[in-house]
Amino acid sequence: MDRVFLPFSIPIAGSKTGLTVFVLLCDNDFFARFPDCPVGGGNLEVTVTLDKRPDMALVHFAWTGRLATICDRCTADILLPVTGEWDLVVKYGPEFQEDDEVVVLPPDMTELNVARYIYESALLSLPVRRVYDCEDDVPRPCNMEVLEYLHRMKNEGDSRPEGGDLPFQDLKSQINSN
């Protein structure tokens, strides 16, 4: 197992019944260990709450931090703020099985490595449109050249080709009349 992932192994068999809280940090090295990672790194603080019961365990993940990605508005490299929560049910059974929200651990598995669950959940917390209000960042990460171009295009308004309509204008008129 990769040394970076060692802190992400939480003891299941050795834990006492009740709540146990782990605070884990995911940095650039963490994200770099996953092949084809769609983010350039990040810095997350993940609180993992293990609620161990005699017949099962509930694992609650809550994270906050920033992921390195590209701004969809200006194409600059940004550290996008993300937060999220996710729950995992751990049951005990004869062999290891897993699906989206349930993991079955065999008796010989004493710990569960949660690195992959944290990684996947963090990526799913990225918004579809990757932009944020970066006005307070010093220095601002924005690509000012692209933003100035977008502003100029917005101010020029609806520039129709000479003697023609905007593309799909006829189709839009037909749809609106129905």
**169 domain residue, yes or no:** no
Structurally, how many domains does the chain consist of?
Answer: 1
Comparing 44 with 101, the larger pLDDT belongs to 44
- Residue 12 within a domain: yes
Encode burial over 135-163: b for 16+ CB neighbours within 10 A, e otherwise. eeeeeeebbeeebeeeeeeeeeeeeeeee
pLDDT at 48: 96
Describe the strand order of the beta sheet including 97-98 as a list of residue ranges. Answer: 18-26, 42-52, 56-70, 77-92, 102-105, 97-98
Do the domain assignments include residue 95?
A: yes
Residue 120 lies in a domain: yes
pLDDT given for residue 158 in this prediction: 54
**Where do the DSSP E strands lie in 122-162?**
none
Q: What is the mean pLDDT of residues 131-149?
A: 77
Q: Identify whether 129 is part of a domain.
A: no
30 in any annotated domain: yes
- Mean residue pLDDT across the chain: 85
Provide the residue range defining the domain that includes 90: 3-124
